[in-house]
Structure 1
Amino acid sequence: MAKRTISDLNLLLAVDKPQGCTSHDVVARARRAVSERRIGHAGTLDPLASGVMVLGLGQGTRLLGRITQDTKSYIADVTFGFETNTDDAEGEPTRTVEPAAELFDAAAAARALASTVGPQMQVPPAFSAISVGGVRSYKRARAGDAVELPARPIEVRAATLISVSEVDGAPVWTVAYTVSKGTYIRALARDLGRMLDAAAHVSSLRRTASGSVTLASCVSLDDLSPETARAKMLDPVEVLGVPAIAVEGRHLDDIACGRRLPGGLMATADRAVGEGDTVALVNGGALRALGRVEAGRIAMSDVFPQPICGVRP
């Protein structure tokens, strides 16, 4: 097996995904732009959607499974008149309902959206990446199989009406959503239509934030280069949301060898640390390792041979 080469870029980066491309396409374009093969992404955006997508480059890929980003924010256009088999504008219409006049009323729209806020159970779209018997749901749906996914707990934390407009005679609600991880905005639109004895789908979707990462942190794929990647890299500790401990140079050999560090270092953390907590071990503006508090000492969980850059003072 060929030995993996050392990455020149070891960081987390947010890109503004364009509409019309897949998450895989974004990774492929990023690899070409920065000449780095080792790139992955945290979370998936549908081809219809645009907006915030977090990439890991080099050693940064090892953080992707730890990025929870529990809260996500979107701006969506919900178009009434018909449902589709994908719950968005890319699918085939499956049910049509003539929009009622009340759907053009902004006050009524705001009240309806307010009633959808809170914890609830959501049935994901059949055309989704959820695995069913080891096969992606969308593959079964494309093959014509009847897909029935179980409902899952989600939470709508905010659903704020931005505007009501009319497109080709149909009412379109532009909505700012803040939701828990795993929430499908497409399914919210579908269920909103049914709740109102109507039919609806998402016709436009833009992710404006993923956890602490916002559009302001993003770089355009057209502008992506090694230089812009370094200039716009994210603080990995902030993205992970874990306590940080600044370690001195004398601790780096112990970290590299996977040896436990003394518990006294926990007193220097930037927030309270307790048994079982994950901590970020930082030196020289870079993430050197992730540790776990065990029996009053810090045991290594992940050690990064090339430090992950971007830690802010």
Structure 2
Amino acid sequence: MNNAQAIKFKNIAWDNAGVLYFPPGFSEDEKYPVIISMHPIGSCKEQSAGNIYGAAMAAAGFLVLAFDASFQGESGGSPRNIENPHQRTDDVRYAIDYLLTLPYADADRIGILGVCGGGGYSLNIAMTERRIKAVASVTGVNYGRLMRDGFLGNNLISALENIADQRTNEVKGEELLMLHYLPASIEEVKKAGITDTDVLGATDYYKTPRGNAPGAAVGAVYSHLSASIGWDAFHLCETLLTQPLLIIVGNRTGGFGAYRDGYEIYRRAASAKKELLVIEGFSHYELYDHPEAVKQALKKAVPFFKENL
């Protein structure tokens, strides 16, 4: 058997596309601990969550599922490129339903690992999806907080009114409007005089051959962003987030806020067993694929999941 296999699983009214990564020496007659690997905002299963962390965790002995979020990549749902935190987290329930139809997936040993926005989603869904037994967040970001603090400006009421107007206009026949998270190229970043570490890192990752992939939108439909403004990845974590928890961040901070979010969830989570790893000298986007940053993250994540699954 190949070490990776394309699959699909049923969601509410469409299919999600994913990739199963198999451990070495895989046998359908054995049962394996499972990890769901969630991709960042605007990303896809072929990027960091799949070809970096998913492949590495499989090589360490886990059965891993990386999948495209609903409305994104090769998954179903229309209109395309919606980023709705409620759906993004609910996708995980359907992913687990699918995994538990596989005779070699151990129902009692399911973990979740998320990168960037996927990290925030992983922390959130674990609160109410009790089939998840352990959670790791790699440079995780609270998407709702980021939208309120950054991408939609300072006046949230004005932003919500604009979103409502745009949605009404689209119902009347106007084309969908995309919110693009990043400049189109490194050249545009330089022209604009942008120096923020995260914007530079994101553009270098998503807009160059380093990380670019066809399924990555790096943007979202503007008229569907109102749900994200009222959403908080950490809501009720003091009560409901009790699973073993590993938070990994880099200490080179940027405007997207993974460093501050990492410290916040570590402090607030109810988990009796929790650890915060700060990787010195690396930034948010270096944790996506920089060999040394990823090596340090995996050095902690692999034994974490082996101990807790």
Settle same-fold status: TM greater than 0.5.
no
Give the TM-score normalised by the residue count of structure 1. 0.27
Give the TM-score normalised by the residue count of structure 2. 0.27
Kindly indicate which of the two structures has a greater share of residues assigned to strand.
1
Kindly indicate which of the two structures has a greater share of residues assigned to helix.
2
Larger Rg: 1
